[in-house]
Amino acid sequence: MYEATLKRVFGYESFRPGQRDIIHAVIEGQDVLAVMPTGAGKSLTFQLPSYIKNQGLTVIVSPLLSLIEDQMLHIRERGERGVARLTSMESAEEKQDIINHLKRYRFLYLSPEQLAVPYVTRALANVKIQMLVIDEAHCISQWGHEFRPEYARLGELRKQIGSPQCMAVTATAPEGVKQDIIEKLALFSPEQFVHSANRPEIRLLVERLEKEKKLERLKELIREIPKPAVVYTATRREAEALAFELEDALFYHGGMSTEDRRLVQSQFLRDEVSVMVCTSAFGMGVNKDNVRSVVHFQLPATVEAYMQEIGRAGRDGQPAFAVLLYADGDERIQQFLIDGQYPKDEDMRLAYFERENGTSIAQLPRLLRMNEEDPKFLLLKQLLTERSLQEALDWVKERKRDRYRQLGQMMDYALIRTCRRDYLLRYFSEQTVDQEECCDVCGPIPFPDTPQIVRKNVTEWKIRLTQIFSFE
Restricted to residues 35-94, the positions that interact with Mg ion (CB under 5 A) are: 42
Instruction: State the minimum distance, in angstroms, from the CB of residue 71 to ligand ADP.
Output: 7
Q: At what angle do helices 42-53 and 65-77 cross, to 10 degrees?
A: 50
Length of the chain, please? 472
Determine if 25 is a binding residue for ligand ADP (CB under 6 A). Answer: no
> What is the 8-class DSSP label of residue 341?
T
Shortest gap between Cβ of 175 and Mg ion (angstroms)?
21
Stretch that binds ligand ADP, among 36-44, 52-60, 121-129, 247-255 (CB under 6 A): 36-44
CB of 262 vs ligand ADP, minimal distance in Å: 17
Torsion of the alpha carbons at 411, 439, 423 and 320, rounded to the nearest 10: 90
Pairing type for strands 275-278 and 320-326 reads unpaired
Cβ contact 75:83 at 8 Å: yes
Residue 195 interacts with ligand ADP (CB under 6 A): yes or no: no
Stretch that binds ligand ADP, among 38-46, 234-242, 381-389, 435-443 (CB under 6 A): 38-46
> Do the bridges between strand 83-86 and strand 57-61 make them parallel or antiparallel, or are there none, so unpaired?
unpaired
Q: Under a CB-based contact definition with an 8 Å cutoff, are residues 342 and 379 in contact?
A: yes
> Could you tell me if 220 and 192 are in contact, meaning their C-beta atoms sit under 8 angstroms apart?
no
DSSP 9: I
> What is the nearest approach in angstroms of ligand ADP to the Cβ of residue 460?
29
* Closest separation in Å from C-beta 255 to ligand ADP: 25
Pick what 375 binds: Mg ion, ligand ADP, none; C-beta below 5 to 8 Å, kind-dependent. none
* Nearest of 248, 312, 295 to residue 465 by alpha carbon: 248
16 binds, among ligand ADP, Mg ion, none (CB under 5 to 8 A by kind): ligand ADP
Site string for ligand ADP, 263-302 (x = CB under 6 A): ------------------------x---------------
Question: Does 318 help bind ligand ADP (rule: CB under 6 A)?
Answer: no
258 binds ligand ADP (CB under 6 A): no
Q: Is 34 in the site for ligand ADP (CB under 6 A)?
A: no
Region class of 299: left (phi > 0), else alpha (psi between -120 and 50), else beta: beta
Provide the residue type at 96 as one letter. Q
> Interface with ligand ADP by CB under 6 A: which range of 14-22, 185-193, 272-280, 434-442?
14-22
- Angle at which helix 236-245 crosses helix 214-224, to 10 degrees, equals 60
Binds ligand ADP by CB under 6 A, chosen from 23, 32, 33, 36: 36
Nearer residue to ligand ADP within complex by CB, 10 or 342: 10
| 306 contacts 174 by C-beta, under 8 angstroms | no
Angle (CA) 143-134-27 rounded to 5° is: 130
Q: Is 56 in the site for ligand ADP (CB under 6 A)?
A: no
Is residue 23 within the footprint of ligand ADP (CB under 6 A)?
Answer: no
When CB distances are held under 5 to 8 angstroms depending on the partner's kind, the choice from Mg ion, ligand ADP, none that residue 40 binds is ligand ADP
Name the burial class of residue 305, with classes exposed (0-12), middle (13-18) and buried (19+) by CB atoms within 10 angstroms of its CB.
buried
How far is 356 from 250, CA to CA, in rounded Å? Answer: 50
Tell me: does residue 326 bind ligand ADP (CB under 6 A).
Answer: no
Q: What are phi and psi of 192, to 5 degrees?
A: -110, 135
Closest distance to ligand ADP from the beta carbon of 305 (Å): 15
Tell which one of 32, 35, 40, 439 touches ligand ADP (CB under 6 A).
40
Closest contact distance (angstroms) between CB of 145 and ligand ADP is 16
Burial of 430 (0-12, 13-18, 19+ CB in 10 A): middle
Query: Hey, which residues does 208 pair with through a beta bridge?
Result: 326
- 19/198 with CB nearer ligand ADP: 19
- Residue selected from 12, 51, 447, 461 as contacting ligand ADP according to rule CB under 6 A: 12
Q: Which residues bind ligand ADP (CB under 6 A)?
A: 12, 15-16, 19, 36, 38-44, 287
Q: Which residues bind Mg ion (CB under 5 A)?
A: 42
